[in-house]
Amino acid sequence: MKQLKTSDEINAVINSNLALIIFKTMGCGVCNAIKDRLLTMKPNHPDIPFYEAYIEDLPLIRGEYLIFSVPTVIVFSNGKELYRESRFVNTYKLNEFLLKIKEH
């Protein structure tokens, strides 16, 4: 999972064909647990890039993308938000959503 460190990197990823970003903080144990779950899902979705971003490094992104709690997982496609889940991320539901997108 590649780490995004600048607003320009995040904007490039958001405007790409399809991408998943987990927004997290440095000291968040739940964030790390969700990241580990996402990494176990990754082999099922080799065509979808997964990214992580620390919101401490990107304070403007918080307001721009309305990230009020962590972890927040967002799936973007061509600049549009397709899926969002915060705090209690249901990875089963997320996995089903990603499988459904690939069918279309």
pLDDT in tens, 19-31: 999 999 999 999 9
Superfamily of domain 2-103: Glutaredoxin (3.40.30.10)
Q: What pLDDT is attached to residue 95?
A: 94
**pLDDT tens track for 32-87:** 999 999 999 999 999 999 999 999 988 888 888 899 899 999 999 999 999 999 99
Q: What pLDDT is attached to residue 11?
A: 93
The DSSP-derived string for 68-103 is: -SSSEEEEEETTEEEEEEESS--HHHHHHHHHHHHH
CA–CA distances in Å: residue 47 to residues 18, 29, 32, 67: 9, 28, 23, 26
Distance, in Å, from the CA atom of 16 to the CA atom of 29, rounded to the nearest integer, reads 29
Boundaries of every domain in the chain:
2-103
